[in-house]
Every structure is written in C-alpha cells, then in structure tokens.
C-alpha cells in the first residue's frame, strides 16, 4: 500500500512514517517545511532503513499538489499538515483558516481528481470544547465552547470530511482525535523540534532544561484536580504513531472517529516530577502563575472505542516518554 503523509516531516508524521516503513508500507512525504526540517528525512532513513520520497509542496499550491498526486498514485493519505500554535491562531485567525481549512479543501479536491478515496485526519481533543466532565467519548457533541481559531479549524475540517463522505459513498474517512502527544523516538534521533517558540508543556519543559527558557510557568494551581494544576492525557508519540497503523488496517467507507489517548490523566506537577526523575534528580525551575485563558482543569480520553474496534491501546508510560525525551535532548546537545 502506498501512503502519502502530508506534514510528514513534522513531529507526529515523522514518527508515523517510521512505524509504517517498518511494516512494509511505501511512504511518501509532502511538507512545506514551515515547522520542520529537511534533515528529518535522513533520520527516518537512519532509523527505518528507507528514505521516503519527499515533495516540498504547500497544501495551498494547487498545481504542485496536482503534480504530486499525478506522479504518486497513492492508496491512502494521512493528513497531518497544519498550523497548530493556539496563541498564534488567536492573533492570526485568517492564516489558520486559510492554511488548515483551505489547505484541506485543496487536498480533498486533488484526492477526488486522482481517485484517492482513503484519508486519515489528525484531529484533536480540542473539538470537544468544554463538556463539563473530564473523560471524553467520541459520541459527545463537538464544536461548542472551543476557545480558539486553531481548535475551530479542526472542528470545521471534521465537518467538511463528514459532508464529503456523504456525497461520495466510496470515501473512507478516519478522524483521529489526539490527546496530548509527548516523548520522542527511543533512538533519540527524532522528536519535537519546533522552529518557533513553543507553547505546549513538553517542548517548554525541554527548553527550560536546556536553559533556553529560564523557568516553566505553571498556569494555575487552584484547579479542582489532584494537586491543583491542570491534568491532561499525555500519550507517547510512538504509541500515537502506531494508532495510525491500526487505523489504516481498519479503514472503511463512511466516517469513523477515534480518540487516541491513554485514558489516564497526569498533572503539570506530576509531569515536572517525572522529568526530574528521568534527568537524574536535576531540578526543573518553575513558578506558579495565573491560569491561562481558555484552559480546562482536566481532559482525559476514553480510549475504549479504539481498543475495541482498532485493536489498539497505548503501551508506553510517562516515564518512557521522559527517558526518550532526555535521550533526544542529549543527541541534540552532541550536534
Ligand atoms: P508539526 O508542526 O510538527 O507538523 C505539521 C507539519 O505540517 C509541519 O512539518 C509543517 O511544516 C507542515 N505544514 C503546515 N502547513 C503546511 C502547508 N500549508 N503545506 C504543507 N505542509 C504544511 O505538528 P505535529 O505536532 O506533528 O502535528 C501534526 C498534526 O496533528 C497537526 O494537524 C496538528 O494540528 C495535529 N495535532 C497535534 C497535536 C500536538 O499536540 N502535537 C495535538 C492534536 C492534534
Ligand atoms: N501548561 C503550563 N505551562 C506551560 C504550558 C502548559 O502549566 O507553559 C499546562 C497547561 O495549563 C495545561 C497543560 O500544561 O494544564 C498542558 O498544556 P498544553 O498547552 O501542552 O496542552 P493543552 O492540553 O492545553 O492543548 C494541547 C494543544 C491543543 C490541543 C490539545 C488537545 O495545544 O491544540 O492539546 O490535543 F487541542
């Protein structure tokens, strides 16, 4: 099976490429390299033994996309490409709607023109908005109470995919709602390496540990959670990557939606403690500050559907994620 990964040089795409190549899939990657580096292709080759064919194309470049699809003869697309900085999306909403929603429309048009009917889409737990409960299941209503344009692009794309699947009975769509991806490949060769200043917890912890950021700001310790700090369902990126393989195996006509998470929540202070443990007890400087606008106290996946229907569940722990992250940071230092 020949699979195109849009955004495949990015964090989750590159880990998924490795899992697919390991299982014998033919993988090609397209990316505009806005938030990833071309060197990732060599790292994928070093780990998996195969360097995927690469197209430096933008989702918004209709001609470039058309040419790639004409050459590619793909069986399935995993659509990772998109902008994901929540804060920036509030400042520049049109950029996000154009890139994420407009780019997806271009992709779907190309797929239709070239007879590619299978797509797996990288969605997010953010589409659930605020449900008033911590544990989220796929049949909950989505789209209400999303606090930023990035999240709304995910919701809008999900709705577009549902409409396209109604219009085209041949279409096979799987929406994967990721919870909070963390960790890196155990080889230490690839991981999350944002081109910009990060705003998610794990990349910030990494930059605090290297001294690039002075201290971690813990956004609030007065939530109704285990220790007052925010609780999230952190999933190891290698488990997440394997979720895509499981989804390919079970893709079917119409729309299927799965949460990819562990089902277990971890607080910010617990994440700090786990990182300190993995770094041999070295303290991570932090201070508690005001809550961040739009944050919820606790978000956790109910991953039951993915386990029942895809035969997938997570195997790695927060400690695995932290150990792999330290290994990756050590590799970066050696460069
Ligand atoms: P990433 O930024 O590392 O990877 C996304 C890739 O898409 C980047 O390499 C970027 O250069 C590329 N890209 C962006 N716009 C493009 C365009 N117009 N044309 C071509 N390439 C383009 O992000 P990631 O963490 O690997 O996330 C992958 C997907 O998963 C994204 O859609 C993201 O929204 C979604 N997601 C991520 C998280 C998370 O916390 N990492 C959580 C939920 C959902
Ligand atoms: N946090 C801090 N300090 C920081 C950054 C984060 O205390 O500097 C806390 C947050 O308050 C939250 C937790 O760490 O309690 C996780 O925050 P992230 O920003 O890493 O993740 P979120 O759950 O807020 O959001 C992320 C993505 C969204 C996505 C969502 C679910 O940013 O786009 O996961 O997938 F929708």
pLDDT category of residue 195 using cuts at 50, 70 and 90: low
How many angstroms separate the CA atoms of 225 and 53, rounded?
46
- Across residues 172-197, what is the average pLDDT? 91
CB 298 within 8 A of CB 231: yes
Residue 12 pLDDT > 90 = yes
Token look-up 């035969």 returns 311
Q: Which atom of ligand 2 is nearest to the CA of 177?
A: 35
Pocket of ligand 2 (CB under 6 A): 84, 86, 124-126, 150-151, 178-180, 199-201, 204, 216-219, 230, 232, 268, 292, 295
CA–centroid distance, residue 292 to ligand 2 (Å):
9
How much is the mean pLDDT over the chain? 96
Residue 194 pLDDT > 80 = no
Q: Outline where DSSP puts E strands in the chain.
A: 2-6, 26-31, 53-56, 76-79, 118-124, 135-136, 172-178, 180-182, 216-219, 231-232, 234-236, 254-260, 266-267, 286-289, 300-301
How many angstroms separate the CA atoms of 224 and 214, rounded?
28
- Across residues 123-135, what is the average pLDDT? 96
- Ligand 1 in reach of 96 Cβ (< 6 A): no
Instruction: Tell me whether residue 290 is exposed, middle or buried, using C-beta atoms within 10 angstroms of its C-beta: 0 to 12, 13 to 18, 19 or more.
Output: exposed
How many angstroms separate the CA atoms of 42 and 185, rounded?
14
How many angstroms separate the CA atoms of 22 and 25, rounded?
8
Cα first-last separation, the chain = 36
Residue 198 pLDDT > 80 = no
pLDDT at 333: 83
DSSP letter string, 75-108: SEEEE------HHHHHH-HHHHIIIIIIHHHHHH
pLDDT category of residue 146 using cuts at 50, 70 and 90: very high
Nearest C-alpha to atom 28 of ligand 2 is from which residue?
126
Token look-up 């920036």 returns 88
Q: For residue range 66-98, list pLDDT tens digits in order.
A: 999 999 999 999 999 999 999 899 999 999 999
Task: Find the helix or strand (DSSP H, E) in which 332 lies.
Answer: helix 318-334
Residue 161 pLDDT > 90 = yes
Question: Which of the residue ranges 60-64, 121-125, 293-297 would you say has the lowest mean pLDDT?
Answer: 293-297
State what percent of residues in the chain have pLDDT above 90: 94
Using CA atoms in the order 77, 80, 83, 85, what is the torsion angle rounded to 10 degrees? 160
pLDDT category of residue 193 using cuts at 50, 70 and 90: confident
- Ligand 1 in reach of 83 Cβ (< 6 A): yes
pLDDT at 230: 98
């Amino acid at each position: 099976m020949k699979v195109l990964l849009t955004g495949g040089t990015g964090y989750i795409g590159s880990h998924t490429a490795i899992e697919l190549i390991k299982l014998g899939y033919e993988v090609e990657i397209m990316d505009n390299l806005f938030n990833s580096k071309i060197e990732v292709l060599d790292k994928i080759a070093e780990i998996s033994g195969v360097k995927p064919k690469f197209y430096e194309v933008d989702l918004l470049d209709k001609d470039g996309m058309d040419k790639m699809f004409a050459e590619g003869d793909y069986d399935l697309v995993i659509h990772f490409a998109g902008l994901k900085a929540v804060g920036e999306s509030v400042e520049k909403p049109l950029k996000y709607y154009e890139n994420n929603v407009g780019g997806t429309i271009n992709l779907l048009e190309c797929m239709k023109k070239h007879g590619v009917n299978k797509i797996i889409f990288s969605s997010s737990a953010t589409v659930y908005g605020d449900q008033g409960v911590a544990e989220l299941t796929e049949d909950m209503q989505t789209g209400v109470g999303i606090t930023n344009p990035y999240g709304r692009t995910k919701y809008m794309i999900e709705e577009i995919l549902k409409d396209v699947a109604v219009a085209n009975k041949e279409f096979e769509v799987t929406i994967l709602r990721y919870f909070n991806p963390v960790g890196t490949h155990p080889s230490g060769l690839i991981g999350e390496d944002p081109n910009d200043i990060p705003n998610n917890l794990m990349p910030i912890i990494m930059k605090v540990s290297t001294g690039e950021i002075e201290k971690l700001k813990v956004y609030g310790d007065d939530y109704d959670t285990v220790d007052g700090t925010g609780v999230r369902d952190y999933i190891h990126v290698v488990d997440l990557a394997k979720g895509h393989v499981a989804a390919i195996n079970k893709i079917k006509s119409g729309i299927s939606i799965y949460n990819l998470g562990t089902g277990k929540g971890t607080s910010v202070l617990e994440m700090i403690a786990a990182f300190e443990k993995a770094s041999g007890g070295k303290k991570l400087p932090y201070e508690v500050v005001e809550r961040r606008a739009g944050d919820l106290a606790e978000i956790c996946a109910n991953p039951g559907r993915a386990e029942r229907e895809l035969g997938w569940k997570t195997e790695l722990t927060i400690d695995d994620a932290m150990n792999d992250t330290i290994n990756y940071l050590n590799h970066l230092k050696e460069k």
